[in-house]
Amino acid sequence: MIHFDERWVTISWDADIQAVLAEWKGFADTRELRAALEATLDLVRKKKATRCLADCRHAGPTTQDDQRWALENWLPRTAALGVRHVAYVMPRSAIARMSLTRSVTRFDGQDLAQVLFDDIDAARAWLAAAR
C-alpha cells in the first residue's frame, strides 16, 4: 500500500515485515526530506507501526540542519509513537553514508533500536525477527 509517492521517495506499508517502508530515490531538499519524514510518521500512526525500514541506497546527503532536526525532532516523535526498531540500508554515496551515520549514532533513545545495514535482505530479516 503506497501512502506517499514523490520523485525523491516512496513511503508504503510492507505487510510482509509489518513495517513502514521508505524507499529513497534520490536527493531531497529540506522541504522534501521533512515532508517524507512527516509522511512516514503519518503512516506509523495509521498502522500503529513499531518497525520502519529506510532503504537509503539512492538517497543523497542531508544538511547539518536537517540532521539536527531529524535527531532532535523526528526521532523522538517516532519513538513516542511506539516505533521500537528502525533499519537503515546504507546509501551508496559516501557523503550520504556519513550524513546518515552521524544522525543515527547520535540519537540516544533507549526504547528505539536503530541498525545500519549494507544489505536490504539483512535489514528486512532483522526487522521481521524484532519483537
* pTM listed for this prediction: 0.94
Domain that holds residue 68: 2-129
Q: How many domains does the chain have?
A: 1
The larger pLDDT score, comparing residue 104 to residue 95, is at: 95
What value, to the nearest 5°, has the Cα angle with vertex 14 and ends 93 and 27? 25
Determine the distance from the C-alpha atom of residue 80 to the mean position of all C-alpha atoms in its chain, rounded to a whole number: 15
> What is the DSSP-derived secondary structure letter of residue 88?
E
Contact by Cβ (8 Å): 107, 71: yes
- Mean pLDDT (the chain) is 94
Taking residues 85-101, what's their average pLDDT?
93
> What is the DSSP-derived secondary structure letter of residue 2?
E
- Which CATH number do you get for residue 48? 3.30.750.24
User: Which of these, 35, 19, 7, lies nearest to 89 by C-alpha position?
Assistant: 19
